């Protein structure tokens, strides 16, 4: 398969960035441009059929566009961090990498994203877990399952043991 190199110019609040895109054809390049602009929260972009040097952000979006992430492997973020969390600075804004990936993939991110592998510098989208609250002990799916167990009459002590949390966590969940 032949790949074509494009340059993507994105503008937001009178700031701009130039990214490299590798695509199968013009339609694929345009779809990537729309996804990248959405992730960077910008509606203004221009796509040109020319080669640009790939930066860290370009490389991240290429991995996402071609599904180069493997479930079993952690992908370590090696550039910038803020509060031990992977970040990237673009268009005069700080973007946390995990929510940026969610925006690119058009996944609603109304929850907090954490790496399930417990590796603070891992950005593999397959390793993300989503929690409703920043310090939540249970994921959204865990909460639903715990509520279902409680509805079936399973004792709180057993639910807490199944999720490896204190029983007070389950009691708080049931009070909501």
**Secondary structure (DSSP) of 71-139:** TTS--B--SEEETTEEEEEETTEEEEHHHHHHHHTT----SEEEETT--TTB--GGGEEEESSTT-SS-
Residue 78 has a pLDDT of: 93
pLDDT tens track for 114-154: 788 889 999 998 888 776 555 567 777 777 888 888 888 88
Domains of the chain: 4-110 (no CATH), 140-175 (1.10.10)
pLDDT tens track for 27-53: 999 999 999 999 999 989 999 999 888
Residue 172 has a pLDDT of: 86
Taken in order 143, 145, 150, 151, is the CA torsion positive or negative?
positive
Which residues, in sequence order, are bridge partners of residue 12? 15
Q: How confident is the model at residue 174 (pLDDT cuts 50, 70, 90)?
A: confident
Residue 163 has a pLDDT of: 83
| Mean pLDDT, rounded, for 86-96 | 94
- pTM, full prediction: 0.72
| Mean pLDDT, rounded, for 72-78 | 93
């Amino acid at each position: 398969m032949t790949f074509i190199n494009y340059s993507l110019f994105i503008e937001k609040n009178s700031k701009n960035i130039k990214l490299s895109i590798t695509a199968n054809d013009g339609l694929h390049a345009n779809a990537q441009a729309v996804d990248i602009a959405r992730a960077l929260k910008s509606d203004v972009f221009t796509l040109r059929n020319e080669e640009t040097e790939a930066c860290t952000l370009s490389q991240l979006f290429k991995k996402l566009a071609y599904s180069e992430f493997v479930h079993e492997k952690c992908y370590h973020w090696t550039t910038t961090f803020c509060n031990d969390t992977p970040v990237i600075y673009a268009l005069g804004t700080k973007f946390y990498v995990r929510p940026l990936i969610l925006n690119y993939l058009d996944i609603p991110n109304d929850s907090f994203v954490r790496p399930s592998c417990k590796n603070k510098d891992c950005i593999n989208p397959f390793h993300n877990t989503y929690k409703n609250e920043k310090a939540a002990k249970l994921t959204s799916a865990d909460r639903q399952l715990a509520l279902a167990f409680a509805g079936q009459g399973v004792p709180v002590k057993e639910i807490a043991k199944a999720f490896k949390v204190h029983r007070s966590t389950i009691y708080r969940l049931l009070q909501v």
